[in-house]
Amino acid sequence: MNATLDAKLELDNDTYKTLLESTRAIPWKIDWSTMQFAYIGPQIEELLGWEPSSWVSVQDWADRMHPEDRDWAVNFCVAQSKAGVDHEADYRALKKNGDYVWIRDVVHVVRKENGDVDSLIGFMFDISERKRTEEQLAALRRELEELSFKDGLTGVANRRRFDVVMETEWDHACRNKQSISVLMLDIDCFKQYNDHYGHLEGDQCLKRVAKLLTVAASRPRDFVARFGGEEFIIVMPDTNETEAYKIASRCRELIASEHIPHNGSDVSKYLTASIGLSTVTPNCGDVSLRFIEQTDRRMYQAKQRGRNTVVND
């Protein structure tokens, strides 16, 4: 009777083993007291290149993990195992040829009758394809987010992005008692430009102006955006009035020196721009909108004073 039972159990074990080793998931077992592998499926060699016999201890598991993932993955798995909590972890596993594969380890904690941890059993899954898909989707989301903040025509930031950046820099200036400068620029006689050259040429003109502004305001925190129509705005954090005036003048001069023909202008035979400029060290509670409105008024004052100029008072 016992012989028959033993034979049946052996047959059952062989059956389970065959089933486990026929799946793409890689089964394994670790003895908790020795931290040694009691078993790992032969599929591991096909996936990572390491022979099953080379998986001796948990140190082999840790050593064959990407350095950036090793500390958190090992600490997490050990802590969860000690607490008797089933868990799973995603990490990059080292292949024998030096490449890495994304692995998901699903772990079940086996306890003794007295509650102590007896062993860990689990499955490793190759999730590289899923990770590639996730990364592609994340990249697509970033691209879509970037596009949502970018002016489709000129490539500089749009009004939506300006609103976010302006509030961020305004709050930063308030907290740190720093000056902030903003200039608003309007292309002179742009309606006449479109009427004379056509809207396609008008679009090309806007692109050229946007590029020139990014050249003039090229410091790391300078921010250029299309405010609407033929208007552009530049935010210059931690910039005093003297420095801001130099950048504003450079914007005006670069546009003028580009010699973009403008036969419809009553200012010059070439394209010009009018600029309003404001600088302030805001106090907490001040509203940035009033500051922008002041800069907008100065831009229109520049147009009233004959255009192709900078007004900062």
Active site positions, annotated: 230
Instruction: Quote the CA–CA distance of 43 and 25 in Å, as a whole number.
Output: 8
Give CA separation, 185 vs 18, 169, 236, in Å: 75, 20, 14
H or E, element range at 233: strand 231-237
CA gap 107, 210 in Å, rounded = 56
Give the residue from 192, 193, 153, 183 showing the smallest Cα distance to 252.
183
- Structure tokens of 209? 């102006």
CA–CA separation, 174 and 178 (whole Å): 7
The closest of 184, 169, 181, 166 to 279, measured between CA atoms, is 181
Count of helix runs (H) and strand runs (E) in the chain: 10, 10
Q: How far is CA 76 from CA 29, 89, 91, 121, 197, in A?
A: 18, 8, 12, 16, 66
Q: Is 88 exposed, middle or buried (0-12, 13-18, 19+ CB in 10 A)?
A: middle
Q: Which residues contact 5 (CB under 8 A, 6 or more apart)?
A: none
Q: Smallest Cα–Cα separation from 301: which of 312, 292, 291, 290?
A: 312
* Residue found under tokens 């530049």: 234
Q: Please give the span between the terminal C-alpha atoms of the chain, in angstroms, as a whole number.
A: 105
